Amino acid sequence: MNDQQAIGHVSGINRLYTYMLGHAVSAAAAAEDPWRQTGHSIVAVILAGAAFEAHLGEFLSAPGFRQMFSQELEQWRDQPPRPYDVLKTILKRLGVVDLSVLTWYQELRCLFELRNHVAHYYPEPRPVGSFPEKIQTNCIQKKIVHPAGDDAMDWTSRLFVASVAARAADIALSAIQEFDKVVAAYLSAA
């Protein structure tokens, strides 16, 4: 196995996030009141995004890939882009020409939009029955996630539910597997 093939060699943080993600999804499903279900669902979404980001970090730490992306890593250190933009750069360098055909990439964009709206500072008033624009566009219109409830509820009550927590976990795990397939194809062609 060469350095580029040793994905996951650093510390396994992505696997730790994935493990804890399973607990958060189970806790959301078992919650007896909406408040706890929402809390566990938010944790699941955050951990799902973190698991994929950690997986990319471990990929980029392999010496061959670290060298391959050395210029980008310097740029990203000074001004970190959105995770799916990092992924886009990596995929294009690995030979993926058309990202629009990658369902898992589109799903991952949705996951990061959900995560960003609860884990980062987005001070925007939101009328009941509406969703943030990027969540509406990247998640709901594409039918990647399905809101619970109805338009009489705020968007967080409709999206941070057990079914969306489980979907976030599925998205992260699928994206990790599909990303690894792209890497394996690149390595076998090299």
Give 78-129 pLDDT, tens digit per residue: 888 888 889 999 999 999 989 989 999 999 999 999 999 888 766 677 889 8
Q: Among the listed ranges 10-14, 41-45, 58-62, 66-70, which one has the minimum average pLDDT value? A: 10-14
Q: Mean pLDDT across the chain, nearest whole number?
A: 90
Is the CA virtual torsion 5, 74, 134, 113 positive or negative?
positive
d(CA 63, CA 78): 21
Percent of the chain with pLDDT over 90: 73
d(CA 167, CA 181): 21
Range of the domain at 136: 3-189
Mean pLDDT, range 31-42, rounded to an integer:
95
Tokens describing residue 119: 């884990």
Among 48, 35, 5, which residue's Cα sits nearest to residue 161? 35
pLDDT for residue 39 is more than 90 = yes
User: How many domains are contained in the chain?
Assistant: 1
Give the separation between CA 162 and CA 148, rounded to whole angstroms: 10
